[in-house]
Amino acid sequence: MKKRYFLTVSTLAVLALTSASVMAQDNTFKIGLILPMTGQQATTGRQIEAAARLYMAQNGDTVAGKKIQLIVKDDTSVPDVTKRLAQDLVVNDKVNVLAGFGITPSALATAPIATQSKTPQVVMAAATSSITQASPYIVRTSFTLPQAAVALADWAPKNGIKKVVTLVSDYGPGIDAEKYFKERLTFNGGQITEALRVPLRNPDFAPFLQKVRDLKPDALFVFVPSGAGAAVMKQFLERGMDKAGIKLIGTGDVTDDDQLNDMGDGALGVVTSHHYSTAHPSALNKKFVEAFGKANKGLRPNFMAVGGYDGMRVIYEALRITKGNGGGDALLAAMKGQIFESPRGPMFIDAQTRDVVQNIYLRKVEKKDGQLYNVEFDVIKDVKDPGKTK
């Protein structure tokens, strides 16, 4: 008798749990956030997760009557893992949106899953131009390497830099950076004297930098992914390349705000082009930097953080526009054409390309209040991805 009583109670408990989870299902809006939380790209994951959580803390976790649930998964930046996690999030967790994607191969590996399941895929980090063409369900809130590289190739020859050696990580974004920098520099009368590529995994920059030293160009143009810039800077300075009259220039990935302050005074004067600096002088950005630091033991938000923060804005707004009733197609439609002020400046999701249109800034590393910053000194407004016009 006693046993039966217990059975009945536990059966009821199971029923209650089941109906609670069914209800949760209906009222929950799930975002599957796939990021490299460990391994070589871990700083990207840490920055984007922190930014997504900050956005939720500031804007609440209920939108259009739906409770937002963030499901964070660590793909260790291995694309096969990214793909398996994406599949699992779509099939088992029934996420409404896939987001994150620290490196290009991870974003590309997920694209077919987004297409087949009609799930919007919000790319918050990866920056190879072609990514948005891999699925009509991809929307990007980061940047593209051609956007950043072309601006620097316009600046360089006007500032005494004619002969340049390029040094890039040997995969999508690096190839984009190399190609678009070269094309524009050559158009502007400059010259690439050597194009060097280093492996993405465990790169050893030393032999490449030695070669650059021997070639003695006016400048070395560098693209390495977020988190690798400090190693390049250290070895560049250790070899006395700056003293040999070789300037270091690059897209803003190399003077990443996540690492810049630890690079030392040798980084002073380095000019880069990028869509975001912690030092961007707008009221909105000042608030963003302060709140981000407060919530993360003084950590500076870098360009990855802003991609994550704005990605959450795009998702929240799409949910609001669709009044919480839309499926993947309706959400995607509501993401296209969004225009808003980001901590980076004005930002627009081009409805045609689903890619970000934004200002690109020229910046120089300077010291302010004893800290190193990428200080913006020029701006090219509303830059579309040059890779989309080919």
| Contact set with ligand DHB (CB under 6 A) | 44, 103-104, 125-128, 172-173, 225-226, 253
Can you spell out the DSSP letters for 56-68?
HHHH-SEETTEEE
Taking the C-alpha atoms of residue 337 and residue 253, their distance in angstroms, rounded to an integer, is: 27
Q: Give the residue with the Cβ less far from ligand DHB, 82 or 359.
A: 82
Q: Give the residue with the Cβ less far from ligand DHB, 68 or 123.
A: 123
Q: Give the residue with the Cβ less far from ligand DHB, 168 or 185.
A: 168
Minimal distance, residue 285 CB to ligand DHB, in Å: 19
Residue nearest to ligand DHB (CB): 225
Taking the C-alpha atoms of residue 63 and residue 131, their distance in angstroms, rounded to an integer, is: 29
Angle at which helices 42-59 and 303-321 cross, to 10°? 40
| Exposure letters 24-47 (e unless 16+ CB within 10 A, then b) | eeeeebbbbbbbbbeebbbbbbbb
Minimal distance, residue 39 CB to ligand DHB, in Å: 12
Q: Give the residue with the Cβ less far from ligand DHB, 68 or 153.
A: 153
Q: Give the residue with the Cβ less far from ligand DHB, 73 or 140.
A: 140
Q: Give the residue with the Cβ less far from ligand DHB, 175 or 271.
A: 175
Q: Give the residue with the Cβ less far from ligand DHB, 149 or 153.
A: 149
Q: What are the E-state strand segments in the chain? A: 28-35, 62-63, 66-74, 97-100, 121-123, 138-140, 163-169, 191-198, 219-223, 247-251, 271-274, 339-342, 345-349, 356-368, 371-383
Minimal distance, residue 200 CB to ligand DHB, in Å: 8
Minimal distance, residue 128 CB to ligand DHB, in Å: 5
Q: Give the residue with the Cβ less far from ligand DHB, 196 or 254.
A: 254
CA distances from 28 to 54, 66, 87 (A): 19, 5, 19
Neighbours of 9 (CB within 10 A): 10
Can you tell me which residue has the tokens 């004297």?
Answer: 193
Minimal distance, residue 223 CB to ligand DHB, in Å: 8
Minimal distance, residue 202 CB to ligand DHB, in Å: 15
Minimal distance, residue 132 CB to ligand DHB, in Å: 12
Q: Give the residue with the Cβ less far from ligand DHB, 148 or 209.
A: 148
Minimal distance, residue 172 CB to ligand DHB, in Å: 6
Q: Which residues contact 50 (CB under 8 A, 6 or more apart)?
A: 292, 295, 296, 299, 301, 305, 308
Minimal distance, residue 336 CB to ligand DHB, in Å: 22
- Could you give the 3-state DSSP secondary structure of residue 348? strand
The answer to whether the beta carbons of residues 200 and 225 sit under 8 Å apart is: yes
Instruction: Classify 301 in phi/psi space as left (phi over 0), alpha (psi -120 to 50) or beta.
Output: beta
Instruction: Classify 263 in phi/psi space as left (phi over 0), alpha (psi -120 to 50) or beta.
Output: alpha
Taking the C-alpha atoms of residue 246 and residue 243, their distance in angstroms, rounded to an integer, is: 7
